[in-house]
Amino acid sequence: MPWHYWVLRKFATAEPPKEWEKILEELEGILPAKYIDKIEVASFSIRGKRIARWQFKEDHPEYSTKPNALRTAEKLNWLLLKSRNAPSISKLLISLLNKDRKFTEEITSCPICKEIINYDDFKRSGRIDPISIQMGYLIPLSRGKKGHNNKNVIWVHRRCNYIQDEQTVSETIQTLRQILERHGYKVSKNLKQTNS
Ligand SMILES: [Zn+2]
């Protein structure tokens, strides 16, 4: 079931913008249904609660406007299509997905552990596999209002999402550094940083 139909059926008020139709058409030819479902559930609703994010009260941490939810789906798509060994995409799709969004062209990696994410990792079982892929946030939703947006969403390993918990990415790294130091490891500040 193509996801825009799913969105329209579930949330009759959601009307994807015109350019979105082109994106969806091409994506449906590339991505397995399971991947599309993963993106749509993460972007538009909440696991176990199939109501749209824009149907929550505005002060609810999971709340998102409809346009923001769509942009979130674009970002998650982009990151998925930039994972290692992902199928190649057309220039049209690149330009439509990246139009005015300035998404990074770099290969997608987990923001916590910095391991490159493989296209096949999205198939891993979220129930049992620590390196299965989940949606996460650079700044946790508990930290502020309207955190479900395209600047804040990321793909992250299940394991790394648990480690991050209610911390920002940089707080998580601090925590890990402190743990290592208490275990007797020396962590150099001059360690060459890979791209953040
Ligand atoms: Zn990770």
Number of Cα atoms under 13 Å in the Cβ half of residue 72: 29
User: Per-residue pLDDT averaged across 140-151, rounded?
Assistant: 89
d(CA 17, CA 139): 28
Instruction: Establish if 169 belongs to a structural domain.
Output: yes
* 195 part of a folded domain: no
Q: How far, in Å, is the centroid of ligand 1 from the Cα of 136?
A: 11
> Cα(22) to centroid of ligand 1, in Å?
32
Residue 36 lies in a domain: yes
CA of 44 to the centre of ligand 1 (A): 23
In a domain? residue 190: no
Give yes or no for residue 9 having a pLDDT over 70: no
How far apart are the CA of 57 and the centre of ligand 1, in A?
A: 32
Given pLDDT bands bounded at 50, 70 and 90, which one contains residue 185?
Answer: very high
Q: Is residue 86 part of a domain?
A: yes
Q: What is the pLDDT of residue 187?
A: 87
Contact 133, 156 (CB under 8 A): yes
Q: For residue 188, tell me if it sits in a domain.
A: no
Q: Does residue 97 lie within any of the structural domains?
A: yes
CA of 15 to the centre of ligand 1 (A): 34
Count of structural domains, the chain: 1
pLDDT at 2 over 50: no
- Find the domain containing 41 and state its range: 3-182
Q: Distance, CA 8 to ligand 1 centroid (Å)?
A: 33
Please indicate whether residue 22 or residue 106 has the higher confidence score (pLDDT): 106
Residue 146 lies in a domain: yes
